[in-house]
Amino acid sequence: MNLKHLAIGVVCSLGSIPVVGLLLQQLAEAAPNDIFFGWDFYIEVVVTGLLQGVMYALVALGFVLIFKASAIFNFAQGAMVLFAALAMVGFIEMGLHWTLAFLLAAVVMIIVAILIERVVLRPMVNQEPIILFMATIGIFFVLDGLGQTIWGSNVKALDIGISQTPWFVLQGEFFPGGLRLIPTEVVAAVVGALTVTLLAVLFQYTKVGRALRAVADDHQAALSVGIPLKFIWAIVWSVAGIVGLVAGVMWGTSLGVQFSLSLIALKALPVLILGGFTSIPGAIVGGLIVGVGEQVGEVFIGPLFGGAIQDWFAYMLAMIFLLFRPQGLFGERIIERV
Amino acid sequence: MGLKSLRWAAAALALSVAATATPVVPAKAEGDQFIPLLVYRTGPYAPNGIPLADGFIDYFNYVNWKEGGVGGVPLSWEECETQYNNDRGVECYERLKNRGASGATVINPYSTGITYALIGRATEDKIPVLSMGYGRADASDGTVFPYVYTAPITYWAGADVMVQYAREQEGGSLKGKKIALVYHDSAYGKEPIKTLERLAEIEGYELSLFPVAHPGLEQKATWLRIGRQVRPDYVFMWGWGVMNATAVKEAASVGFPMDKFIGIWWSGAEADVLPAKEAAKGYKSLNITGVGKDFPIVQDIVKMHEEGEGLADPANIGSVLYNRAVVNGFIITEAVRKAQEKFGQRPLKGEEVQWGFDNLAITEQRIEEAGLKGLMGPIEITCANHEGAGSALVQQWDGENWVAITGFIDPNRKALWPEYKASAAQYAKEKGIDPRNCD
C-alpha cells in the first residue's frame, strides 16, 4: 500500500457521499412516509458516522498491529481494551490523576504483553496461525476473568476532563440548530489521527518497523537472519495493548468502563474486512466507511426494514467489498506459488 | 505437544479457571428449604446482576440470622452463573432443581429468555417460576400457567402505568402527542408494543418504534432520528444493560429533555445512569419497589452487616436492584410461610410451595409488620390470577440518587386482563394445554 492508493481511497470515499445523498433524496421522494431526507440532516448523519468511524478504527488498529507482526488474528483484542481501561480506572480510584493513571495502565499493558510473549507465544514459535489464533482465545478468557476479578464487574465512570455537553457549530441558514459534535468523539478523532501517524512512522521508517514486517512474513526466516522474534513480539503486543488502552479510554469515557467494552471488538471486524488486516491507514479508512455506512443505512434505509439494521448493514457492506477485493481495500494481496 | 507445552497449557487453564470463578455459597445441611439462585455476576449484564444476587443472599441470610429460617426451617441456597445466557440458565436449572432436602423451592430466572426456556420444564417438574416484573405477561393467567407467577406486575401493565403517568403530566390527555418507544430488539423489548399500540388508539397519541440491536452499544442513528426528525413528546424505553446507559447519554447529546424520557423498571438502576453522570439528571424510570435505605428491613440488614454477618457487598445495600431482590426474597418466604400453614413446618417441595403462591395475600399490615412499608405494595395472588394486582411507581435521577416522585400507581387491569386471557388461550391452544379449573 502506498500513499497513492490511500489518496484514491479517501477521494473515492468522500466522493461517494454526495452521490449517496442524491440517491437517498430520490428514495425519500418515492417513499415520503418512510424516509425523511434533508441535506442538513444528511450531513449531520455523515459527520456523526465519520466520528463514530474513528472510534471503531481505534479498536481495529490493535488487531492490525498484531496481524501485521505475527499473522495472528488476536481474538483477545476486545478483552485487552477492557483490561487496559479497568486498570486505568483502578489507578484513578486509588486517587491518582488520570494522566498518571494512564501511564501506569500503559505499563500494566506492557507487562501483560511480556507475559503473553513468554507464557503463550514463545512455546508456539513456527506453529500454524490457527494454533496461535486459538491461543488468543485462551488469552481472551484469562484477561476477561482476571480483569473482573481484580477490579470487579460494576460499571465505572471514567472522567478525563472532556465535557459531555455537545457542541453546536456552524449555526446559520443551512444548519438552523447547528451541527452537533460530541466533544469525546472530536478528541477521539484527533487522538486517532495522531496514533495512526505515529504507527505509520514506526512501521515504515524505523528498524523495529522493518523487523516487524519481516517477522510477519515468516517467523523462521526472520529468526535465521538474526531478528529477535521474542523481542519483536513483546514490542508489538505492548503497542497493541497501549492502542487498546487509548480505545478503552475513548469508549469508556462515553459508556463507562464495563464488560461490554470487550464487545466493541465485534464492531472492528467489518472495519478490518473492509480496510484489510495488514494496513494501518486501511483501519482508519475502513472505520470511516463503516461508521458512515451504518449510520446512513440505519437512519435512511432502516425504516424500510423495521430498524436495527446497522450491525448487519456494516457486515453486508464489508462483504460487498470482499467480493471485489478479498484482501480488503488496502490489504496486501497474497500470492502463493505452487 | 511437548511436556513443557503441556505444563504451560495446564497452568493457563488453571489460571483461567481461577480468574473466572465466581463466589458460590454452598447448600447447607439437609433439612433446609433450598432456593436455587440463577445469577450473573460476570459478563455484559454483571453491573445489574451483582446487586440482584447480593440482595438475594443478604435477605435469605437475614431471615436465617433473625428468625432461624422460615417457621424454623433454615433457608439454604446455591448460586449458578448464567451470564444471562438461555442455555446456561437451563443448565443451571437442571443442575440445581433436585438439590436440598426437598428440591428447588422456586426458580427466579432473572431473564425473560431463560423464563421462556424454563416454563415447560418447570411446569413438568412442578417447580414454581417467579418472574417478578419480567417474562411472559400472559403467564399471569394461572389457569394456563399453573407454575408461573408474574407478581407484582407485568410489562404490559408497566406500559399502561407509563401512559397513565404521561397523560397526567400532560393535563389529562395525550391526544395529538407523539410517543417513541426505544426497545431492545428481543422478546423482552417487544413485550410492550401491543399494549402501547392498543392505548394509542384509545388515547390518540402517535407511536413510533425504534428497535436497538443487542447489546445496544451504538444508538447514534436512533437518537438522531428521534432528536432531529420525529421529535416526540415522550420517549419510553425497554432497555437492559449497556443499552440503557448509552441511550441516556445519546438522549442528552441530542438535547432530548430528560424529564420526558421514561424507562421501564429494568432501565432504572444506578448502573444505567452513572456513566452519563450529570447528563442523566432528570431521567425517569418506573420501579416496582421503594428506593433507598430508609426502610426498617434494610436498616436491619445494615445492622446484620455491622455485626459481621452480612454476605453481600455493603455498597450495594439500598440500591435499586438490591431492594428488588429483597422484595423478591420476601415474596418467596411469604409463599413458603403460607404453604407451611397447610403442609407443616418442614422443607417443602416445589409442588407444595405452589399452593402457598396460589393462596398468597401480602397485606399492607403484613408488609408493615415485616419492615417493608414503602418498599412494596400489597399483593394478592390466586389460583387464576398470578400477577397479584401489584403496582409501580415513578422515580427520577437527581444526579446522585434515584428519588421516588410518585406513589405506587395501579395499572388499568380491567383492560389488561382480557388481553392476558386471549394471549394465554392462544398459548394453550398451540401447546395443547387443558387449562386447570380454579373455581
Domains of chain B: 33-153+292-391+412-431 (3.40.50.2300), 156-287 (3.40.50.2300)
Instruction: Tell me phi and psi for residue B394, to 5 degrees.
Output: -105, 135
User: What are the strands, taking DSSP E only, across B43-171?
Assistant: 75-81, 129-130, 148-149
pLDDT tens per residue, range A194-212:
888 888 888 888 888 888 8
DSSP letter for each residue of B286-348: EESS--SS-SHHHHHHHHHHHTT---S-GGGTTSHHHHHHHHHHHHHHHHHHHHHHHH-SSPP
pLDDT at B23 over 50: no
Instruction: State how far residue B365 is from chain A, nearest Cα, in angstroms.
Output: 37
In sequence order, the 6+-apart residues with CB closer than 8 A to the CB of A327 are A276, A333, A334
Q: How far is CA A166 from the centre of its chain?
A: 23
The per-residue pLDDT for A3 is 63
**Secondary structure of residue B261 in the 3-state scheme:** strand
CB atoms within 10 A of CB A249: 28
Q: pLDDT digit string (tens) for B212-262?
A: 988 888 898 999 999 988 999 999 999 998 899 999 989 988 889 999 999
Please indicate if any CB of chain A lies within 8 Å of the CB of B213: yes
- The distance of B421 to chain A (nearest Cα, Å) reads 29
Contact with chain B for residue A264, Cβ under 8 A: yes
Render pLDDT for B94-120 as a digit per residue (tens, 0 to 9): 999 999 989 999 999 999 999 999 999
Name the closest residue on chain A to residue B222, using Cα atoms. A299
Pick from A52, A154, A306: CB nearest B271: A154
pLDDT (tens digit per residue) in A119-157: 998 888 778 888 989 999 999 999 988 998 899 888 888
Count Cβ atoms below 10 Å from residue B261 Cβ, excluding itself.
Answer: 25
Q: Which fold has domain A3-324?
A: ABC transporter involved in vitamin B12 uptake, BtuC (1.10.3470)
pLDDT band of residue A219 (cuts 50, 70, 90) is: confident
Residue B266 confidence (pLDDT): 97
A45 touches chain B (CB under 8 A): yes
Distance CA B308, CA B432 (A): 53
Q: Is B93 helix (H, G, I), strand (E, B) or coil?
A: helix
Compute the nearest-CA separation of B229 from chain A (Å): 7
- List, for residues A235-264, the tens digit of each pLDDT value: 989 999 999 999 999 988 888 898 888 888
Determine the Cα–Cα distance for residues B53 and B51; give it in Å rounded to an integer. 6
Q: Is A256 on the interface with B (CB under 8 A)?
A: yes
A171 sits in the region (left: phi over 0; alpha: psi -120 to 50; else beta) called: beta
Q: Are A123 and B7 in contact (CB under 8 A)?
A: no
ipTM: 0.82
What is the residue extent of each domain of chain A? Answer: 3-324
User: What is the percentage of chain B residues whose pLDDT exceeds 70?
Assistant: 93
Tell me the pLDDT band of A42, cut-offs 50, 70 and 90.
Answer: very high
Residue B42 pLDDT exceeds 90? no
CB–CB of B216/B241 below 8 Å? Answer: yes
Q: How far apart are CA B177 and CA B234, in angstroms?
A: 8
Mean pLDDT in residue range A92-112: 96
Q: Hey, are the CB atoms on B12 and A138 less than 8 Å from each other?
A: yes
B140-164: pLDDT as tens digits: 999 999 999 999 999 999 999 999 9
Which grid coordinates are listed for B4?
513443557
Report how far residue A75's alpha carbon sits from residue A77's, in angstroms, rounded to the nearest whole number.
Answer: 6
**How far apart, in whole angstroms, are the C-alpha atoms of residue A49 and residue B272?**
24
Residue A318 reports pLDDT greater than 90: no
- Whether residue B59 contacts residue B326, with contact meaning beta carbons closer than 8 Å, is answered with yes
Contact A166 B255 (CB under 8 A): yes
Task: State how far residue A163 is from chain B, nearest Cα, in angstroms.
Answer: 10
Q: pLDDT value at position B30?
A: 53
Q: Which H helix or E strand runs over B212?
A: strand B206-212
Nearest to B224 among A123, A299, A306 (CB): A299
For residue A217, count other CB atoms closer than 10 A to its CB. 10
Name the packing angle between helices B3-20 and A129-151 (round to 10°). Answer: 30
Q: Do B245 and A256 touch (CB under 8 A)?
A: yes
* Of A85-94, A215-224, B124-133, B168-177, minimum mean pLDDT range: A215-224
Q: Chain B partners of A302 at a C-beta cutoff of 8 Å?
A: 221
Greater confidence, B4 or B290?
A: B290
Q: Provide mean pLDDT across the span A219-232.
A: 85
Chain A residues touching B224 at Cβ < 8 A: 41, 44-45, 48, 295, 299
Please report the residues numbered 230 through 259 in chain B whose beta carbons come closer than 8 angstroms to any beta carbon of chain A. Answer: 241-242, 245-246, 249, 252-255
| Residue B41 touches partner A, C-beta closer than 8 Å | yes
**pLDDT tens-digit series, residues A16-41:** 888 888 998 888 888 887 778 888 88
Yes or no, beta carbons of B41 and A260 under 8 Å apart: no
The whole-number pLDDT of residue A280 equals 84
Question: How many whole angstroms separate alpha carbon A197 and alpha carbon B76?
Answer: 59
pLDDT at A155: 85
Please return the burial class of A338, using the count of CB atoms within 10 Å of its CB with bins 0-12, 13-18 and 19+: exposed
Are β-strands B393-397 and B402-404 bridged in parallel, bridged antiparallel, or unpaired? antiparallel
For residue A14, the model assigns a pLDDT of: 77
Q: How many CB atoms lie within 10 A of CB B257?
A: 13
Indicate the residue of B217, B220, B241 with minimum beta-carbon distance to A264.
B217
The single-letter code of the amino acid at A338 is V
Please check whether residue B32 is in contact with residue B75, taking contact to mean a CB–CB distance below 8 angstroms.
yes
Number of A to B CB contacts under 8 A, please give it: 148
Over residues A287-313, the pLDDT tens digits come to 999 999 999 998 998 888 888 888 788
Could you tell me the pLDDT band of residue A67, with boundaries at 50, 70 and 90? confident
Please check whether residue A44 touches B, CB under 8 A.
yes
Q: How far from chain centre, in Å, is Cα A2?
A: 21
Answer with the residue of higher pLDDT: B181 or A185: B181
Provide the pLDDT for residue A69: 77
Name the pLDDT band for A335 (thresholds 50, 70, 90): low
Residue whose C-alpha cell reads 393467567 in the numeric block? B141
Average pLDDT, chain A: 86
Q: Is the Cβ pair B245, A155 closer than 8 Å? A: yes
Query: ω before B146 within 30° of 0 (cis)?
Result: no
Question: In angstroms, how far is the first alpha carbon of chain A from the final one?
Answer: 25
pLDDT digits (tens, 9 = 90+) for B323-346: 999 999 999 999 999 999 999 999
